[in-house]
């Protein structure tokens, strides 16, 4: 029914294309879905089959179009997570607020599926914690500059957020595209137990402290509390783009994970499709 729906690809708001090439095109829903599970399936089958995302290759247009809701994904490792009984149920802010009450850092995260692609959603009690001393270990968002994999300055998160305020985590929630920028495995939130995933937090966006997203393929770490501008590349076209994302803290991943802006529909979390080009680096 919605097969002809097209998503406009556009660069980061208010910025020139990083290389000026090939950016103003469109992709349709089928192609968009391909950026998610169809390509994820190969990676997961080869190296990570137990994670389970490969099992839900949604038919193109299977969501009926216009379905922006984000659903929990709780198959594979995730079925033992706090949202294990909520598989494919819509995510609500209340779910995360309730879970964060069990956290000393005031955080909660979960794997999800949105519009056919894997995502990770994190809740950070920023609005409550930002006025407290950082030394108390209560997490809050930090808005910073970003550097690409060569160390070149890319820009500041706020440059993007000023142009499109929806990139700001105004509801204390941030959602990222769930494909690792190393080799496209799917990072998770506290699905394994180590010093990077423990319930602790330190400011500054370094690789110390816990509360990281962790990719078990080759141990890349991402800090969901550090929001930055960065750049990445579409592997098919070579076109580079700047994006708002969470910071890569360590491991072989070259850059961080792109944000998918969200909105609340009542209590339900919905993703917005404005920046689909940011999610093409695994194509």
Q: Interface residues with ligand FES (CB under 6 A)? A: 180, 182-183, 185, 215, 217-218, 220, 251-253
Identify which of residues 124 and 185 has a Cβ nearer to ligand FES in the complex.
185
Q: What is the Cβ-side half-sphere exposure of residue 118, based on CA atoms within 13 angstroms?
A: 31
Whole-number minimum distance, CB 181 to ligand FES, in Å?
A: 8
DSSP summary character for residue 35: I
Residue 61 burial (CB < 10 Å; 0-12/13-18/19+)? Answer: middle
Q: Which is nearer to ligand FES, 220 or 240 (CB)?
A: 220
Cα–Cα–Cα angle for 116, 119, 220, rounded to 5 degrees: 130
Whole-angstrom Cα distance, residue 221 to residue 58? Answer: 28
Q: How far is the CB of 35 from ligand FES (least distance, A)?
A: 16
Distance of CA 282 to the CA centre of its chain: 14
Q: Which is nearer to ligand FES, 63 or 178 (CB)?
A: 178
| Shortest distance (Å) from residue 199 CB to ligand FES | 22
Task: Rank residues 167 and 253 by Cβ distance to ligand FES and give the closer one.
Answer: 253
Q: How far is the CB of 120 from ligand FES (least distance, A)?
A: 13
- Which residues is 263 bridged to in the sheet? 270
Query: Minimal distance in Å, beta carbon 48 to ligand FES?
Result: 9
| Nearest to ligand FES of 37, 141 (CB atom) | 37
Both tokens of 19, joined, read 């290389």
In angstroms, give the least distance from the CB of 103 to ligand FES: 24
204, 137 in Cβ contact below 8 A? no
For the chain, how many helices (H) and strands (E)?
5, 15
Q: Which C-beta is closer to ligand FES: that of 106 or that of 251?
A: 251
């Amino acid at each position: 029914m919605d097969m002809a729906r097209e998503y406009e690809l556009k660069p980061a708001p208010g910025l020139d294309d990083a290389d000026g090439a090939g950016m103003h095109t469109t992709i349709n829903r089928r192609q968009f879905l391909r950026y998610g599970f169809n390509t994820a399936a190969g990676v997961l089958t080869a190296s990570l089959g137990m994670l389970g995302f490969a099992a839900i290759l949604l038919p193109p247009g299977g969501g009926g179009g216009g379905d922006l809701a984000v659903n929990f994904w709780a198959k594979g490792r995730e079925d033992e997570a706090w949202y294990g009984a909520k598989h494919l149920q819509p995510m609500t802010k209340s779910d995360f607020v309730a879970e964060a009450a069990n956290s000393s850092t005031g955080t909660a995260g979960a794997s999800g599926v949105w519009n056919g692609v894997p995502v990770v959603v994190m809740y950070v009690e920023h609005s409550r914690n930002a006025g407290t001393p950082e030394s108390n270990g209560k997490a809050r968002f930090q808005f910073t500059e970003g550097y690409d994999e060569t160390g070149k300055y890319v820009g500041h998160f706020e440059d993007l957020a000023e142009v499109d305020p929806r990139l700001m985590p105004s509801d204390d929630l941030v959602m990222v595209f769930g494909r690792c920028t190393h080799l496209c495995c799917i990072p998770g939130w506290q699905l394994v137990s180590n010093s990077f995933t423990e319930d602790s937090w330190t400011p500054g966006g370094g690789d110390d402290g816990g509360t990281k997203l962790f990719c078990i393929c080759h141990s890349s770490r991402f800090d969901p509390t550090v929001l930055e501008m960065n750049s990445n590349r579409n592997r098919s076209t070579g076109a580079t783009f700047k994006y708002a994302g969470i910071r890569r803290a360590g491991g072989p991943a070259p850059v961080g994970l792109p944000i998918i802006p969200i909105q609340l529909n009542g209590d339900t979390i919905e993703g917005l499709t404005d920046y689909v080009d940011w999610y093409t680096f695994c194509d």
